[in-house]
């Protein structure tokens, strides 16, 4: 059966008058009668009982009417969802992120803003190892990624810088430099460095201090890095936002001397993004970034 036939049947069953039902759906009474006969023939069951004075539903017709109404209601919902998705008002966006992008509250702010303006869109969040994010964007497993550059992206992926976060030094409490408020890069020459996923800050400290860093363990995520520091495995160069977000005993955070070494937070996305909902989120994030820079 075609969808229009369900509509003809529901109109006839609701009116129990073929001429009136025909007017409702915009066809002639003879066409309505023919359509109902075709439906009954296709189903192999009588749906209407007709007398000279009235039309009423058979038991099979009553049951079929319930299912037909449910079907048409589902179709209407599907059509409405498709239209809203086309306007960016419905759908699902999968966001990949590294935990440190949440420490500054940026990820949370963008999610809150978007949910206010697009309540019909489902936002799903997945913490992912940073080096996997560009590939997951490229193959469509995620739609947007919050990460810390520098990163190498596939040709299909681009990015936008959102925030710059100065690097600081994480030291074991009681370290020889812990009493200083600011530490020169050159003072770290003899240290072993516990490495986060992104080691650019560590390498820049070595460059500014005129030494090649002694690279130690690389546990990956920043909470693990700080745990290693607390256990005396070395010092670590980490984003400054950690001092307020990760408080582990026996670790202190100290600033580096000026000029600051900046860690960036960026959002990465596909250049040819087709989803209106995802494009709307990218546009919102870009607007927020401009407001922070005052541009």
Q: For the structural domain made of 3-87, what CATH number should be given?
A: 1.10.10.10
* Own/partner long-range contacts of 63-70 (Cβ < 8 Å, ≥24 apart): 64/9, 65/9, 65/10, 65/13, 68/6, 68/9, 68/10, 68/13, 69/10
* Residues 104-149 pLDDT 10s: 889 999 999 999 999 989 999 999 999 999 999 999 999 999 999 9
* Residues 63-95 pLDDT 10s: 999 999 999 888 888 887 677 677 666 689 999
Tokens 């599907």 map to which residue?
A: 78
Q: Residues 266, 159: contact at Cβ < 8 Å?
A: yes
The CATH number corresponding to 165-263 among 3.40.1640.10, 3.20.20.70, 1.10.443.10, 3.40.190.10 equals 3.40.190.10
Domain coordinates of the chain in residue numbers? Answer: 3-87, 91-163+264-294, 165-263
Q: Which residues contact 285 (CB under 8 A, 6 or more apart)?
A: 110, 144, 160, 162, 267
121 DSSP β-pair partners: 91
Domains 91-163+264-294 and 165-263 share a fold: yes
Q: What is the pTM of this model?
A: 0.69
Q: What is the pLDDT of residue 70?
A: 92
Give the whole-angstrom CA distance, residue 148 versus residue 141.
19
Q: Which CATH class is domain 91-163+264-294?
A: alpha beta
Q: What is the pLDDT of residue 88?
A: 67
Residues in the chain with pLDDT values less than 50: 295
Q: What is the pLDDT of residue 294?
A: 59
Q: What is the pLDDT of residue 293?
A: 65
């Amino acid at each position: 059966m075609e969808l229009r036939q369900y509509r003809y049947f529901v109109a006839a069953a609701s009116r129990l008058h073929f001429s009136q039902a025909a007017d409702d759906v915009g066809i002639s009474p003879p066409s309505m009668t023919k359509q109902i006969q075709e439906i009954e023939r296709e189903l192999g069951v009588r749906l209407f009982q007709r007398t000279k004075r009235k039309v009423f539903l058979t038991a099979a017709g009553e049951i079929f009417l319930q299912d037909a109404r449910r079907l048409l209601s589902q179709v209407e919902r599907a059509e409405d969802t498709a239209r809203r998705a086309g306007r960016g008002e419905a759908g699902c966006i999968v966001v990949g992120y590294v935990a440190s992008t949440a420490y500054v509250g940026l990820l949370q702010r963008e999610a809150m803003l978007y949910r206010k303006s697009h309540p019909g869109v489902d936002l799903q969040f997945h913490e992912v190892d940073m080096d996997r994010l560009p590939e997951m964007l490229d193959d469509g497993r995620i739609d947007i990624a919050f990460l810390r550059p520098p990163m190498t992206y596939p040709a299909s992926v681009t990015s936008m810088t959102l925030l710059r976060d100065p690097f600081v030094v994480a030291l074991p409490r009681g370290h020889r430099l812990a009493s200083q408020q600011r530490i020169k890069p050159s003072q770290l020459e003899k240290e072993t460095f516990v490495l986060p996923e992104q080691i650019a800050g560590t390498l820049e400290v070595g460059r500014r201090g005129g030494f090649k860093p002694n690279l130690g363990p690389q546990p990956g995520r920043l909470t693990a890095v700080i745990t290693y520091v607390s256990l005396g495995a070395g010092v670590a160069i980490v984003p400054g936002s950690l001092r307020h977000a990760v408080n582990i005993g026996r670790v202190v955070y100290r600033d580096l001397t000026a000029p600051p070494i900046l860690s960036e937070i960026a959002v990465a996305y596909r250049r040819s993004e087709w989803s209106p909902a995802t494009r709307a989120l990218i546009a919102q994030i870009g607007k927020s970034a401009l407001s922070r820079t005052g541009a």
